[in-house]
Structure 1
Amino acid sequence: MIRGIRGATTVTSNDAEEIVDATEELLRHMIQANGIKASDVVSVLISVTDDLTAAFPAQALRRIEGWTYVPVMCTREIPVPGSLPGCIRIMMTAQTAKAQDEVIHIYLRNAVQLRPDLSLTKKTDL
């Protein structure tokens, strides 16, 4: 079955290293929590808020061994007034045997407020 796996995180500044590092952290949590292999991934879509322009967060995927050939694209979020600033969101589409309610979506840092109902609150949950 093909499933969407969501994740989001935030950064404190428009700094290239911070953006790529935070994206890598999020990707690694998503991969680990869901037991995803690169060969199971259809594509990864990464969006950022308008205030993040210092780097392409997709660079983070290339830091992960074995993920060289996974298609990845970056885009901008809709700039809704009052939305969470400094936010990086990921939609990973992958093949998995998990039922939709078994997929673990990851929300880190200030992004926990986006979906508190789906957020893991302890690192031991991962």
Structure 2
Amino acid sequence: MAVRAVRGAVQVDVDERDEVLAATRELVTEVVRLNELDLEDFISVIFTSTADLVSEFPAVAARELGMGDVPLMCARELEIEGSMPRVIRLMAHVETSRTRAQVRHVYLRGAVALRRDIAQ
């Protein structure tokens, strides 16, 4: 088994708690599904969100999905002029037998525009 990083992002329509949680659950669920992971495969997850998202911590959604014993961290994304608004990003460190080239990164909703080259 190797340790790999899986990237992903999702854009939310509005900064409302339910929307942030739903979008984060969708993102984490797709990372798990597309990379054929179990919760035990996760080493840690770093979430970032843009400054316009203040209604809830994305890590709350991950805990709701059963990641209570996985180290989770939330941070603020850099505020770069012209950057996409209302975006939650993640970088998950996982144990997997996949090669780096086989890891599937997940970009959902409007966030697909961030990385069209690797979005699933």
TM-score range, shorter chain: over 0.9
Distance across 1 between alignment mates of 2:93 and 2:104:
13
Letter paired with 2:33: Q
- CA shift for structure 1 position 21: 0.6
Unaligned runs of 5+ in 2: none
**Corresponding position of 2:22:** 21
- CA shift for structure 1 position 57: 0.9
Letter paired with 1:44: V
**Corresponding position of 2:34:** 33
**Corresponding position of 2:99:** 99
Distance across 2 between alignment mates of 1:50 and 1:63:
23
Letter paired with 2:36: G
Letter paired with 1:98: R
**Corresponding position of 2:4:** 3
**Corresponding position of 2:116:** 116
Unaligned runs of 5+ in 1: 121-126
- CA shift for structure 1 position 47: 0.2
Secondary structure at 2:20's aligned position in 1? helix
Q: How many residues align?
A: 119
Letter paired with 1:18: E
**Corresponding position of 1:85:** 85
Distance across 2 between alignment mates of 1:10 and 1:36:
23
Secondary structure at 2:26's aligned position in 1? helix
TM-score by length of 1: 0.92
- CA shift for structure 1 position 118: 0.9
Letter paired with 2:38: K
**Corresponding position of 1:73:** 73
Distance across 2 between alignment mates of 1:28 and 1:34:
10
